[in-house]
Amino acid sequence: MLSSLPRRAARQLRGVAAPSLRGAARPLSTAPSDAPEEEPETKKLTMVAAINDALRIALKTDESAVVFGEDVAFGGVFRCTMGLRDEFGEERVLNMPINEQGLVGFGIGLAAVGSTAIAEVQFADYIFPAMDQICNEAAKFRYRSGAEFDCGGLTIRAPAQAVGHGGHYHSQSPEAYFAHTPGLKVVYPRDAYTAKGLLLSCIRDRNPCLFFEPKILYRSSVCDVPTGDYMLPLGEAEVLSPGEHITCVAWGAQVHTMARACERAAAEGVSCEVIDLQTIAPWDMHTIRDSVQKTGRLLVTHEAPLTAGFGAEVAAAIQDACFDHLEAPIARVCGADTPFPLAFEKLYLPDELKIYDAIMRTVQY
Amino acid sequence: MVKVSEFDKVFNEAQRQGRLSFYFTNRGEEACSVGSGAALRDDDWVWPQYRELGATFWRGYTIEEAANQCCHNELDATKGRQLPMHIGSPEKHLMYVKSNLGQQVPAANGAAYAMKLQRKGRCSITYFGEGCASEGDIPSALNIASVHGCPTIFFCRNNGYAISTHTDDQYKSDGIAPRGVAFGMPTIRVDGNDLLAVYAATRAARRIAVEEGKPALIEAMTYRIGAHSTSDDDSKYRRADSPEEGYDSERAYWDARSPIVRFGRFLEARGLWTAEEETALRKTERAASIKALNDAEKRAQPHVKHLFTDVLDEPPWMLRQQQADLKAHLAKYSEHYAEVTAEQIESM
């Protein structure tokens, strides 16, 4: 299913090094290639390898870039930083003590003076000690200084979402907390291909970015990934599969769960428009709106708990933009309002069957 | 130091008169910021807390710039975003002051590390009070600085009070200095009211930072003669009794040994200064501060569109929508928004 989904062409940057000086223009994420269109060389990579590749390209093309976090020196607990220290040296790939507020603050300082800071928080569940730094410092750095300063060079990567056995503290999806703070970008890839392109865009974007990597896909997502330097646009949702009866929106690993539910519904004659939101902040409301104005129905699904999850924002905005078009209440199929359980993970999660059931109820409303 | 002192008096009074929303003084701590500021290179990065006006003026930040920010007028570089005295300047390598405590300290490490990688002989200095030192950001930063050899100068102004909290309620250790030792860095405790001692200590710390690639901690013992800010009444908590006989109060004791008094006497003893010169200098500085305030007050406020700019590098669609909504609202109910001109609404 996934390999048959239409894929956006990679926008290849040829020989464009990201300048390291603050204030210098960075290559736009949608900058077209000057060379004649040709299929880029690709390689089958896991998401881990694709992320590793993105980090390698970032370190190679930007001499100011520093990668740092807990255990990154030996390669990282998920191997995302394998080989980087050997290739780029111990000054640029740093093990940090166990201290999220300290390492994120370090990244803010690096970025504030014009360097590129690529931080790793070992699990998204451990990002909370750094929330003050992220929400009070990084997010407000540009606004509070009248744009005299910014820490756009900061990217924080963290493995997130369910992994099958993670329990409370290895499974969380914290995007809603950060989407609620103006001044941040929040991004989720859905596979190896989007991981490399979106991560490079985050690293080069002139705003502080949070890049949440669905850890369950680290090894299980294998794609043809262009070997060169490419970026995918932030702030743009992707319609993976067009449909007529209902718009279905998800991000990260949940895109695949939702896609399988849509296939089940298709067998019942329901045509679903499958959309990967990709960027949670700022989210691509217009693509969703255009889709719902066509289909008249919306379903949003995320692993994070239902109440005040990002699905609530999508639902509120779309009921405002599409009130006259809606044929049914907007469906949200989400995690329960509980901490993420261990033994009951399967029952907690918005699984394929729950999504399928909600699709059918919505179209039959 | 005198410039800071006179600026403080004018602007503190202005707040009491209702001309400013807020102000905090540097009374008694002028040597900490002037002495340390003078020991740095102009392009070393300064990450302040908020009571370091001396280091700011030393770099050439003007009283006019400060006045504009305090009055959040159209010349305020921050476009009216923050409280008074939340100042900074990229040209002068001064990071912006913000209201919350401690976050600047880990960030100073990142800037210092970037300077180390660039090998241009620069460092960072970051300031915090003894109260702020209780925040988790501070030991976090001390540790990371030591581990990675960040050329960060940690400057703690131990001034006796954190708002109303005396140091007896802030720590049971021997001040802040042991924390530098605990995290493995060169540490010094200095008389924070001795301008030349502060200067010498910071010079030494800078040399360690830049030449040895190590952080250093300076704990400057001083005293906050004024209130925390215009928002508190320090008569409710300041200890009454002088530590020694011969002074009416704790404040009077420290007033008598404030940095300006001590440095003034030092210069006088060497025939380099007189009381008359001090009076004249104070008069000049006061007049300049008053003029700066008056000029700043007369200028227009920032354009209302700046509510929405600088959140991200480019405004996202929701901000453009909210700006359009506000524009329509202001136009519809303009009589309720006398402070916003028709021209401003039109050009939103």
Task: List the CATH number of the domain containing A179.
Answer: 3.40.50.970
Does residue A180 share a domain with residue A272?
no
Number of domains within chain B: 2
Say if residue B211 is in the same domain as residue B341.
no
DSSP string spanning B59-104? TT--HHHHHHHHTT-TT-TTTT-S-TT---BTTTTBPPP-SSSSTH
Q: What is the pLDDT of residue A35?
A: 52
Catalytically active residues of A, by annotation: 100, 170
Please indicate, yes or no, whether residues A76 and A161 belong to a single structural domain of this protein.
yes
Closest by Cβ to A96, choosing from B76, B117, B144: B144
Number of Cβ within 10 Å of residue A152's Cβ equals: 24
* pLDDT higher than threshold 70 for residue B334: yes
Q: Is residue A304 included in any domain, yes or no?
A: yes
Distance in Å, alpha carbon of A182 to nearest chain B alpha carbon: 7
Q: Which residue in this structure is represented by tokens 């940690």?
A: B154
Place of tokens 């008094």: B261
Residues A62 and A147 in one domain: yes
Phi, psi at B156, each rounded to 5°: -100, 120
Distance from CA of A23 to the nearest CA of B (A): 11
Amino acid occupying residue A242: P
Domain of residue B220, CATH code: 3.40.50.970
Q: Which residues of A touch B143 (CB under 8 A)?
A: 97, 99, 102
Contact check, Cβ <8 Å, B114/A101:
no
A32-36, A244-248, B187-191, B273-277: segment of lowest average pLDDT: A32-36
How many Å apart are CA A244 and CA A127, to the nearest integer? 39
A104 and A222 fall within a common domain: yes
A335/A217 same-domain check: no
Q: Number of CB pairs < 8 Å for A and B?
A: 147
> What is the 8-class DSSP label of residue A36?
P
pLDDT at site A39: 82
Q: Give the mutation candidate from A66, A70, A113 for the B interface (greatest B CB count, under 10 A).
A: A113
Residues A266, A152 share a domain: no
Q: How many CB atoms lie within 10 A of CB A209?
A: 27
CA distance linking residue B320 with residue A8, whole number of Å: 28
Whether residues A193 and A219 fall in one domain: yes
Average pLDDT, rounded, for chain B: 97
pLDDT single digits (tens) B202-214: 999 999 999 999 9
Do residues A340 and A168 lie in contact, with contact meaning Cβ atoms separated by under 8 Å?
yes
Please report whether residue A233 resides in a domain.
no
DSSP state string for A64-130:
T-EEEETTTTTT-TTSTTTTHHHHH-TTTEEE--S-HHHHHHHHHHHHHTT--EEEE-S-GGG-GGG
B87 interfacial to chain A (CB closer than 8 Å): no
- 3-state SS assignment for residue A282: coil
As a whole number of angstroms, the distance between CA B111 and CA B114 comes to: 5
Q: What is the spatial distance between Cα B74 and Cα A73, in angstroms, rounded to a whole number?
A: 48
Could you give the CA distance from residue B271 to residue B289 in angstroms, rounded to a whole number? 28
Angstrom distance (rounded) from CA B190 to CA A163: 53
Three-state SS at A248: strand
Both A124 and A269 in one domain: the answer is no
Q: Are residues B279 and B318 in the same domain?
A: no
Based on the fold, state whether residues B86 and B214 are members of the same structural domain.
Answer: yes
Cβ of B98 within 8 Å of Cβ of A136? The answer is yes
Angstrom distance (rounded) from CA A294 to CA B8: 63
For residue A244, the domain's CATH number is 3.40.50.920
Last residue of a domain, one of A195, A226, A257: A226
Q: Which of A105, A133, A182 sits opposite B311 (nearest CB)?
A: A182
pLDDT tens track for A138-191: 999 999 999 999 999 999 999 999 999 999 999 999 999 999 999 999 999 999
> Residue B332 and residue B265: Cα distance in Å, rounded?
64
Residue B91 confidence (pLDDT): 98
Instruction: State which residues form the domain around A243.
Output: 238-363
Residues 6+ apart with CB under 8 A from B265: none
Measure CA of the first residue to CA of the last residue in chain B; give whole Å.
Answer: 43
ipTM score assigned to the predicted complex = 0.97
Question: Six-digit token pair at A303?
Answer: 């692993």
Examine the pLDDT at A14 and tell me if it is beyond 70. no
A219 CA: distance to closest CA in chain B (Å):
32
Interval B267-271 mean pLDDT: 98
List of residues 6+ apart from B61 with CB closer than 8 A:
B87, B89, B92, B94
Residues B175 and B312 in one domain: no
* A76 plus A214 within the same structural domain: yes
| Residue A38: per-residue pLDDT | 74
Give the separation between CA B219 and CA B155, rounded to whole angstroms. Answer: 6
Residue A271, both tokens: 């045509």
Q: How many domains does chain A have?
A: 2
Residue A329 forms part of a structural domain:
yes
On whether both B156 and B197 belong to a single domain, the answer is yes
CA angle B250–B254–B255, rounded 5-degree value? 110
Q: Read off the DSSP letter of residue B234.
A: G
Q: Which of B6, B219, B228, B289 is catalytic?
A: B228
Q: Are B243 and B179 in contact (CB under 8 A)?
A: no
Is A265 inside any structural domain?
A: yes
Residue of B113, B122, B126, B319 best to disrupt the A interface, most CBs of A under 10 A: B113
Residue A27 lies in a domain: no
Token couple for B279 = 């009076």
Q: Residue A147 — φ and ψ, nearest 5°?
A: 65, 15
**What's the rounded Cα separation, in Å, for the pair B35 and B195?**
5
As a whole-number percent, the residues of chain B with pLDDT over 70 amount to 100
Rounded to an integer, the average pLDDT of A198-209 is 98
Residues B244 and B321 in one domain: no
**Is the confidence at residue A19, as pLDDT, over 80?**
no
Same domain, A211 and A336: no
CB A198 within 8 A of CB A278: yes
Chain B residues lying within 8 Å of A207, measured CB to CB: 312-313
Where does the pLDDT of residue A31 fall: very low under 50, low under 70, confident under 90, or very high at 90 and above? very low
Beta bridge partners of A279: A187
**Residue showing tokens 């390492």:** A103
The last residue of a domain, from among A191, A226, A261: A226
Query: Is A66 within a domain?
Result: yes
Same domain, A65 and A127: yes
Marked catalytic residue, from B229, B258, B285, B289: B229
The answer to whether A280 and A240 are in contact (CB under 8 A) is: no
Give me the mean pLDDT over the A71-83 stretch. 98
Q: Which positions 128-157 of B are in contact with A (Cβ < 8 Å)? A: 136-137, 140-141, 143-144, 147-148
- A107: closest CA of chain B, how far (Å): 6
- B303 is an active site residue: no
pLDDT of residue A197: 98
Domain that holds residue B31: 2-295
When pLDDT is averaged across residues B143-164 and rounded to a whole number, the result is 98
Tokens of A291: 């889709």
Which amino acid, one-letter code, is at A313? Answer: E
Quote the tokens at residue B340.
């916003």
Residues B46, B100, single domain; the answer is yes
Band of residue A34 on the pLDDT scale cut at 50, 70, 90: low
- pTM, two decimals, is 0.94
Do B13 and B112 fall within a single domain?
yes
Report how far residue B262's alpha carbon sits from residue B260's, in angstroms, rounded to the nearest whole number: 5
Residues of B in contact with A150 (CB under 8 A): 313
Same domain, B283 and B337: no
B228 counts as catalytic: yes
Interface of B with A in 255-294 (CB under 8 A): none
